[in-house]
Amino acid sequence: MADSIPLNPVRKNSRRTPYFNSARLSRYSLEDEPSNLDEMPLMMSEEGFENDESDYQTLPRARVNHRQRGLGWFLLGGWKVLCGSCCDCLAHICRRKKELKARTVWLGCPEKCEEKYPKNSIKNQKYNIFTFVPGVLYQQFKFFLNLYFLVVACSQFVPSLKIGYLYTYWAPLGFVLAVTMVREAVDEVRRYQRDKEMNSQLYSKLTVRGKVQVKSSDIQVGDLIIVDKNQRIPADMIFLRTSEKNGACFIRTDQLDGETDWKLKVAVGCTQRLPAVGDLFSITAYVYAQKPQLDIHSFEGNFTREDTDPQIHESLSIENTLWASTVVASGTVIGVVIYTGKETRSVLNTSYAKNKVGLLDLELNRLTKALFLAQVVLSIVMVAVQGFVGPWFRNLFRFVVLFSYIIPISLRVNLDMGKSAYGWMIMKDENIPGTVVRTSTIPEELGRLVYLLTDKTGTLTQNEMVFKRLHLGTVSYGTDTMDEIQSHIIQSYAQVTSQPSNGSTGGATPSRKTQTSGPKVRKSVNSRIHEAVKAIALCHNVTPVYESHVNGETESAEADQDYSDDNRTYQASSPDEVELVRWTQSVGLTLVNRDLNSLQLKTPSGQILSFHILQIFPFTSESKRMGIIVREESTGDITFYMKGADVAMASIVQYNDWLEEECGNMAREGLRTLVVAKKCLSEEQYQDFENRYNQAKLSIHDRGLKVAAVVESLEREMELLCLTGVEDQLQADVRPTLELLRNAGIKIWMLTGDKLETATCIAKSSHLVSRSQDIHVFRPVSNRGEAHLELNAFRRKHDCALVISGDSLEVCLRYYEHEFVELACQCPAVVCCRCSPTQKAQIVTLLQQHTANRTCAIGDGGNDVSMIQAADCGIGIEGKEGKQASLAADFSITQFKHIGRLLMVHGRNSYKRSAALGQFVMHRGMIISTMQAVFSSVFYFASVPLYQGFLMVGYATIYTMFPVFSLVLDQDVKPEMALLYPELYKDLTKGRSLSFKTFLIWVLISVYQGGILMYGALVLFESEFVHVVAISFTALILTELLMVALTIRTWHWLMVVAEFFSLGCYLASLAFLNEYFDLSFITTWPFLWKVSAITLVSCLPLYIIKYLKRKFSPPSYSKLSS
């Protein structure tokens, strides 16, 4: 069914060129407030919109900000934009895309191809052997922080600028680069191995000499490939032959469109009729295929056989195609390859992974720029106070290097190690087993999310249908009363078989006689149930499949197969239909066989009822119904059965007073409803219909409309049989999880490829849309005028959820992108149905561009990969639809409910800890730089280092590293509390844990403590300068350890160990530091009291301030924990 629904490929943004009428700009200014849609000039008629193109210009487009690009812009990041655009331009020239064209493909003759087509290999790697080192270095040094360290380290090769030992600068930088390269290399090797595994899969290729084994990557356009059951289709193919007798097979498309139901594909009639497989080489035939495109739901082509007279022409549509990445579910298929590699539908719909950078990293990058500015200003002040004497430029650079500790290189190391620690904690959390962190660079993003974009099928739902309700108007049956239906069915068929008349009448005759005798006669409940169940058992597109194991091979058998219930599985393109047929089996009427022209039902007594299928009218999203005309073989009676959505069926069935009300009741329960009706046809009526129908099918112009008109002539005054309710089982704890996320201030958008009715139903049942909220269903729009009117209608609605289809969305984004996103972002929930994979990714990108908030995408199928990769944070669920999404995601979970703990607990902790860690490491650098500044200013502004060699390396590593890094174990709120009060999460999205305000507080603390430590040491020392170094350095180490203790909110035993271990290391190392310290002085009382006094003055005021703040202005989380 889904195959027949057109999904237009998304146009690139470049197509949306704003055009303005300069003469009218004064009237509708771009930045004008009245550019609200209500005040836009509206066309009075649709024709006006379609004909007068020039009048479009009076409608203001999305606001355009024209920035003034001057020197300030260039210095504040413009240089990066220019460099980036130059690189993009070069890359575009280097890999200029070849134009995609339509093609003629000769069967089994790849050498006859007119052009060279891409290789059929999968490649997901970011780098190759030549680009790996430059690529990784570029990714590292595009950050200001790392580039700054590189420049400072390189400056130490210049003798006049050398301040200390080379290893003090190069060792940390080398360590950071080595860790990054190893991590990237491991990821790259894993990607390579995954690709190699896929590319090395073997397939059977048909040649003139018979079958040969060929690797997936060696398959070419024109090859005839044999694909067995449960094997992945390696390239886009046209379906030529199958081992199934009916010339059709099922394929699983879950990795392509996310739908787990099987799709029926039909082989080309001309090749299916050939006596043997080898005859494919004895005919001269070719396929004409349209150029490769994004749309997975449509295809146009022709099959031509030339060696017959006249030539045989067959038109090819989507039902004759086998797309790559789908899996054969029944029989063995043979196809001719038409698209390979980069031109396949699955690859065209996949976006390539980008290097994701966390918001925290960007904020820290901004802060380091501010610190660098402060460093340069401080250096200029030092040189200025000297009076710019001598080689002042060299002195300026020496001061810049001296104060380089303001921006500590250990910041990068600590943060990267912290991220790895958070990843390890997430994977070890017993409450979310099976969670995998695949991108270790962005765990803090989990704590900053504002938009969650989720898939439906397999993510919110299990995609398992359960029959819940049968309503006959006067009586309703639920799950607990299904046994009554079963006894009615057994009874009705027992009556029929006990009659001496024709044994296989199927019990339809008595009820039909009742109907014909007069419409006023009420039928018994027994006959109404019987008719309803029979209609459900006949009106569908379900095929029973039997497995037989012959010589170890599984084949689908038909006539020779035993019809045992254990050996039967049902397949259809909709899981709803399968569940309805399973339900009729459970109450006694079993579908045992079906081919293209007939189907058989088995009664409770074991009788077989045969029906001849005369016509099938498949389900489409436009008609919202499907019908079937069958002739019962035993009686010759012709019946037209139809089932569909209540909106479509209400006008077709005879007048009744209960249908609308009961449909509403079932929808409120979250059930998917179907109305079932029937109409008895006489032979003459059917013949008349068939003639008109066949005539309409042969017409060239408006074929679809003419066919629909003929079918509609039958769809009048149909007898309403029953209303069914089927439930799509939700994943465990979906409702509480969605409520938790909503309370946390996260806006949830559901993006699905499913039908509008189904999506709306699940949005209600999962409580994505609360019961009190209205739902605004965006009418289908196809042009600018309709979009404009519909957006105006939507604007007037308040606090209602939006449901929109992919086609309408594309039209809105083409003309009113800014206005649409602005309105949609105000909705409590948004549901986008019939979305293609590329549209899902486009919606994510739109939200990022228009709101500047962090987005998270969660899905479980191959069709969600683009969306997951486009989002700031991608989460994949390992589900029934395979592992494609979880492998492409940044985080992989096993159930949707785990997302609550992942965000509320781990997201919160990761962000809070990294913010504290980053600022503390900066404080550690700023305090020593303040001491250096005080020291230089006291000693006549000399550019001489205060601490040299090992003291500086030891300070950043062994003396303070462990206590500072132990901040990754800190937590402000217990996990249970974070889950109980999700409102705490809202504070995180405001980014208050790391802002210019908190940063300035740390700067003031650093300046105060650095000043106290240095001045205290200078005031208290008596004889030798070496005592200043000893006193100030020891007080500095103690101050840092005490400051870590002050910052910690929840103590962990490892934190205590780290504090005492670091103190022990420092005291132990004093014995070996006679180069810097006077050992005889350190062991005296004056040294101890001076150090204690300075440390007390530097730390005690901060402890008092913290106590007072907690007492009089406690943060929200501390109120809860108390």
Q: Please, are residues 219 and 203 in contact by the beta-carbon 8 Å criterion?
A: yes
What CA dihedral angle connects 334, 339, 345 and 351, to 10 degrees?
140
Token reading at 483: 């046994």
The DSSP code for 342 is: G
What CA dihedral angle connects 455, 459, 464 and 469, to 10 degrees?
-70
Exactly one of 455, 728, 807, 890 is catalytic; name it: 455
Positive/negative CA dihedral, 723, 729, 735, 736 = positive
Catalytic residue flag (residue 455): yes
User: Nearest Cα to 30, choosing from 67, 54, 62, 53?
Assistant: 62
User: Nearest Cα to 635, choosing from 728, 751, 502?
Assistant: 502
For the beta sheet containing 719-730, the strands, ordered from the edge strand earlier in sequence to the opposite edge, are 476-477, 461-471, 719-730, 672-681, 638-644, 625-632, 608-617, 598-602, 590-594
For the chain, the maximum distance between any two Cα atoms, rounded to a whole number of angstroms, is 127
Burial of 416: CB neighbours in 10 Å, binned 0-12, 13-18, 19+: middle
Based on DSSP, count helices (H) and strands (E) in the chain, helices before strands: 39, 34
Q: Please, are residues 120 and 217 in contact by the beta-carbon 8 Å criterion?
A: yes
Quickly tell me which residue has 């899905």 as its tokens.
Answer: 859
User: Nearest Cα to 746, choosing from 1077, 452, 988?
Assistant: 452
Helix (H, G, I), strand (E, B) or coil at 758: helix
Q: How far, in Å, are 233, 660, 959, 1002, 1032 from residue 1039 at the CA level? A: 66, 75, 12, 14, 10
The DSSP code for 31 is: T
Gyration radius of the chain over CA positions: 37
CA 655-661-666 angle, 5° bins: 125
Kindly give the interhelix angle for 996-1020 and 1085-1112, rounded to the nearest 10 degrees.
Answer: 150
The DSSP code for 905 is: I
List CB contacts of 882: < 8 A, sequence separation 6 or more.
254, 255, 861, 862
Alpha carbon distance 1099, 1043 (integer Å): 7
Q: How far is CA 69 from the centre of its chain?
A: 36
Burial 358-381 (b: 16+ CB within 10 A, else e): bbbbebbeebbbebbebbeebbee
Alpha carbon distance 495, 871 (integer Å): 63
What residue spans of 871-995 are helical by DSSP H? Answer: 884-888, 898-901, 908-938, 950-956, 961-965, 975-980, 984-989
Label the pairing between strands 800-805 and 436-437: unpaired
Alpha carbon distance 363, 143 (integer Å): 12
Alpha carbon distance 75, 1079 (integer Å): 51
CA 440-444-445 angle, 5° bins: 95
Q: Please, are residues 175 and 956 in contact by the beta-carbon 8 Å criterion?
A: no
Residue 516: which H helix or E strand, with range? Answer: helix 508-517
Burial of 551: CB neighbours in 10 Å, binned 0-12, 13-18, 19+: exposed
Residue positions annotated with a catalytic role: 455
